[in-house]
Amino acid sequence: MAGILTKLAFRNLWRQRRRTILTCLALAFGIYMVIILDSFVGGMTEMAGRNIVQLQTGDVQIQAHAYVDDPTDRSLDHVFAYSDFTDDLRQLDQVSAMTPRLSFAAELHNGMDDYHVRAMGVDPLTDPDVFTTQQYLAGQWLEPGQQQVVVGARVAQLLDLTVSDYVILLTRTANNAFQALDLEVVGILDTPHPEVNLAVYVPLDMAQTSLGLDQAITSLHMTVSGSAKSAYEAISSVVEQQNSTALGAYTWEQAAEDFMVMAQSSRAIHSMLLSMLILIAIVGVVNAILLGAMERTREIGVLKAMGMSEREVTQEFVTEAFGIGFVGSAAGVLLALLTNWFLVEYGINPYGDMDLGAGIPLRGHLYGVWNWTIIAGAFMVGILASVLAGIVPAIRAAGKSPIWALRQ
């Protein structure tokens, strides 16, 4: 009997092929969007996270709470001597590399124009152990103690700078007096992190001397191995041992709290959109089954008069819903797999060289990711939602009396 019902269901779907195809297409589109949007959002989040870790924070950083609470604070009011921590941190197995940085506000002058930048004193020797900044460098990296600067690509573009140009970096010392440094541009950084492209990098020791800061830094960045949680706890305990209430250890997620909040909001919007798409697909299935049942009222009467039970009629309609769900979901998944392969392999560059704005640490090519849980989940949900959407109209259709149905 099951075989006959299945045959009957698929014949009925084929009889109304235009409606079936449209319903399947609506469902396929919903499934396709679920997978592609998830891949896109997942890819963006992964890339942004990687950019933050590799170019901005490292896995864990030690910094004053004041700077984390107010990321726009560029004052030198909360600097610390990193030599207090280095011995203890080196003894931790989890810390595989560390490097100090000194962040300060400055104006970069080219003689004609000037631009407000975040300047970063970096240790030219240890910075590459934690950050991948040099991978995006055109020209040379910094040398300790030299009057040199590596300029972010956006700053270089705004001030029309090229390698070998000379600039003046105007800033304030720890005593608030103006300090003007004549620096040679030795390299230009074009990274996928817009904030880095708006910054300038100078040798840490030169910056410390010029700003009147003896060995002081604003942050100590670390790459950790093994469990990030245990590394974070170990580093936190080192900070606590120093009894420094102003300082704290921060994971990259904590340090980039604004981005994490934004990523969560984007996930929430993403989920809402997906729910809407699935709802549209379900409405399509309900519509197809209801119309099918209405058009075939007399046929249902004949089937029931020939001895088919209500359960079997219901089964026949549910099988039709299953058929729509299966074909629609399979088509959606298939199409999504093809598109996602392209996204993962080649990516897309919807904004060209423009930054995404709104503080999103991404630019250039955006890539997708393979999320097999979502792909399998979307396929299953597509079928299940179709079957569930078909049950009520199927029961309604099957509940009609054969005499009434035949009179229609």
Partner 1 sequence: MKRLVLLMLLLVCNSGSAIAETAEQIMKMVEANVYYGEAYMESDMTIRSGRREMTKTMSIWVQGQNALAEFTNPADRGTKYLKLEDEMWIFFPDAEDLVLISGHMLRQGFMGSDMSYEDMMTTEKLSELYDLELESQEDLDGRPTWVIGATAKEGVDVSYAIRKMWIDQEYHISVREELYAVSGRLLKVSRVEEIDQIAGRNYPVTVVTEDALRRDSSTTLRILHIDFDIDVADGLFSLESLQR
Residues that bind partner 1 in the complex, under the rule CB under 8 A? 74-75, 105, 109, 111-114, 116, 168, 170, 172-173, 175-182, 210, 212
For the CB of residue 355, give the shortest distance to partner 1 in the complex, in Å.
Answer: 22
User: In whole angstroms, how close is the CB of 360 to partner 1 at the nearest point?
Assistant: 24
**Minimum gap (Å) between residue 211 Cβ and partner 1:** 9
In the bound complex, what is the minimum distance in angstroms from residue 173's beta carbon to partner 1? 6
Minimum distance of partner 1 from residue 114's CB (angstroms): 7
State which residue, 16 or 75, has the beta carbon closest to partner 1. Answer: 75
Q: Are strands 199-203 and 114-122 parallel, antiparallel or unpaired?
A: parallel
| Residue with Cβ nearer partner 1 (182 or 353) | 182
Nearer to partner 1, 212 or 402 (CB): 212
The residue (of 168 and 228) whose beta carbon lies closer to partner 1 is 168
Name which of 176 and 373 has its Cβ closer to partner 1. Answer: 176
Residue 391 neighbours by CB under 8 Å, 6+ apart: 314, 318, 321
Collect all residues with Cβ–Cβ distance below 8 Å to 55 and sequence separation of at least 6.
131, 132, 133, 191, 193, 196, 361
Q: Minimum distance from CB of 234 to partner 1 (Å)? A: 35
> Residue 176 or 243: which CB sits closer to partner 1?
176
3-state secondary structure the chain: CHHHHHHHHHHHHHHCHHHHHHHHHHHHHHHHHHHHHHHHHHHHHHHHHHHHHHHHHCCEEEEEHHHHHCCCCCCCCCCEECHHHHHHHHCCCCEEEEEEEEEEEEEEECCCCEEEEEEEEECCCCHHHHCCHHHHEEECCCCCCCCEEEEEHHHHHHCCCCCCCEEEEEEECCCCCEEEEEEEEEEEECCCCHHHHCEEEEEHHHHHHHHCCCCEECEEEEEECCCHHHHHHHHHHHHHHCCCCCEEEEEHHHHCHHHHHHHHHHHHHHHHHHHHHHHHHHHHHHHHHHHHHHHCHHHHHHHHHCCCCHHHHHHHHHHHHHHHHHHHHHHHHHHHHHHHHHHHHCCECCCCCCECCCCCCCECCECCCCCHHHHHHHHHHHHHHHHHHHHHHHHHHHCCCHHHHHHC
Judged by beta carbon, residue 117 or residue 394, the one nearer partner 1 is: 117
Task: List Cα–Cα distances, 273 to 59, 119, 234, 324, 376, in angstroms.
Answer: 32, 41, 41, 22, 19
Judge contact between 91 and 283, C-beta under 8 A. no
Tell me whether residue 178 or residue 372 sits nearer to partner 1 (CB atom): 178
Pick between residue 65 and residue 116 the one whose CB is nearest to partner 1.
Answer: 116
CB of 179 to partner 1, least distance (A): 5
CB of 162 to partner 1, least distance (A): 19
Least distance CB 112 / partner 1 (angstroms): 6
Single-letter code of the amino acid located at 222: M
CB 120 to partner 1: min, Å: 16
Nearer to partner 1, 116 or 229 (CB): 116
In the complex, the smallest distance separating the C-beta of residue 155 from partner 1, rounded to whole angstroms, is 16
Structure tokens at 117: 């930048």
Cα-Cα-Cα-Cα dihedral sign, residues 231, 233, 238, 242: positive
Nearer to partner 1, 8 or 204 (CB): 204
